[in-house]
């Protein structure tokens, strides 16, 4: 079955709106876990706008499922990842002004630096994923420098006008196919929702999706448990076909 990582950053966004204790990200993570999520994903941003260092530490202590830490490949955050040792780190580009992660990582343009980051993560037993656009050059570069997986950026697909949808899906399918051939595990994420997930779940060999905003947004109305379960039901349906 394609596995689900729930990104709980926006539970922390709501908490940080009042700089208080609620809603608690650990409670959210445990509800996702009980609902059947396979992984909890958090992005420790350099500006700490939502997830805080303490959240990552607490999650590492209490999670029974895997923790996936999204992060920029910068010394401060690399040091934290080495100390906390999440199951996976997903390297993402980070720009302080952006509302959310905007594009994929330029792996081919910084192979040497990123290879060093990957090697050091591997020494600590941490798997490394590269968040890349569905671009064959970036997939090749990720394989060359020893990444374990690529997370294909689905933002362009999620935002595409009707007439461009097929084209964006084809890019994702092609990138997935090449990643499989190169021995990379294939993940996908960004902008995925209950309404647009199904075609993405058909990316060849897809192993994992990471979904945040839509699950947390729907949780306000239908509850977190139900919001996780409706995504799991889609993944199960596609996996069984």
- Which residues are catalytic, by number? 43, 70, 190
Residue among 190, 7, 226 nearest 105 (CA): 190
Closest distance to ligand PXP from the beta carbon of 222 (Å): 17
Task: Examine residue 189 and tell whether it contacts ligand PXP (CB under 6 A).
Answer: yes
Work out which of 143, 175, 211, 224 binds ligand PXP, going by CB under 6 A: 211
If the CB atoms of residues 86 and 189 are measured against ligand PXP, the closer one turns out to be 189
Task: Examine residue 43 and tell whether it contacts ligand PXP (CB under 6 A).
Answer: yes
Task: Examine residue 151 and tell whether it contacts ligand PXP (CB under 6 A).
Answer: yes
Closest distance to ligand PXP from the beta carbon of 10 (Å): 7
Q: Applying CB under 6 A, which part among 15-23, 105-113, 169-177, 185-193 lies near ligand PXP?
A: 185-193
Task: Examine residue 70 and tell whether it contacts ligand PXP (CB under 6 A).
Answer: yes
Task: Examine residue 33 and tell whether it contacts ligand PXP (CB under 6 A).
Answer: no
Cα three-residue angle 109-48-63, rounded to 5 degrees: 95
Task: Examine residue 131 and tell whether it contacts ligand PXP (CB under 6 A).
Answer: yes
Bridge partners (DSSP) of residue 162 are none
If the CB atoms of residues 33 and 70 are measured against ligand PXP, the closer one turns out to be 70
If the CB atoms of residues 3 and 151 are measured against ligand PXP, the closer one turns out to be 151
| CA–CA dist 160, 167 (Å, integer) | 9
* Residue for token pair 């947004």: 217
Closest distance to ligand PXP from the beta carbon of 174 (Å): 20
Closest distance to ligand PXP from the beta carbon of 131 (Å): 4
Work out which of 4, 7, 142, 185 binds ligand PXP, going by CB under 6 A: 7
Task: Examine residue 68 and tell whether it contacts ligand PXP (CB under 6 A).
Answer: no
Query: Site residues for ligand PXP, window 81-120 (CB under 6 A)?
Result: 90, 92, 100-101
| CA–CA dist 196, 236 (Å, integer) | 15
Closest distance to ligand PXP from the beta carbon of 187 (Å): 8
Q: Using only C-alpha atoms, what is the Rg of the chain?
A: 17
Residues that bind ligand PXP (CB under 6 A): 7, 9, 43, 70, 90, 92, 100-101, 131, 151, 189-192, 210-214
């Amino acid at each position: 079955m394609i596995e689900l990582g729930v990104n709980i950053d926006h539970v922390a966004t709501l908490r940080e709106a009042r700089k208080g204790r609620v809603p608690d990200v650990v409670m959210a993570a445990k509800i996702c876990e009980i609902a059947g999520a396979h992984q909890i994903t958090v992005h420790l941003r350099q500006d700490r706008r939502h997830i805080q260092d303490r959240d990552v530490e607490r999650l590492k202590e209490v999670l029974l499922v895997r923790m996936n830490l999204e992060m920029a490949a910068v010394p401060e955050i690399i040091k934290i990842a080495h100390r906390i040792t999440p199951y996976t780190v997903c390297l993402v580009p980070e720009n302080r002004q952006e509302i959310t992660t905007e594009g994929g990582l330029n792996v081919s343009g910084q192979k040497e630096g990123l290879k060093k980051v990957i090697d050091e993560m591997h020494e600590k037993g941490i798997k490394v994923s590269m968040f890349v656009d569905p671009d064959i050059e970036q997939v090749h570069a990720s394989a060359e420098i020893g990444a374990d997986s690529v997370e294909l950026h689905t933002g362009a697909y999620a935002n595409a006008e009707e007439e461009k949808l097929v084209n964006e899906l084809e890019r994702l399918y092609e990138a997935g196919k090449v990643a499989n051939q190169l021995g990379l595990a294939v993940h996908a994420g960004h902008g995925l929702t209950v309404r647009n997930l199904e075609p993405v779940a058909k990316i060849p060999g897809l192993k994992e999706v990471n979904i945040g905003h839509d699950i947390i947004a729907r949780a306000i109305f239908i509850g977190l448990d139900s919001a996780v379960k409706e995504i799991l039901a889609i993944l199960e349906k596609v996996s069984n076909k």
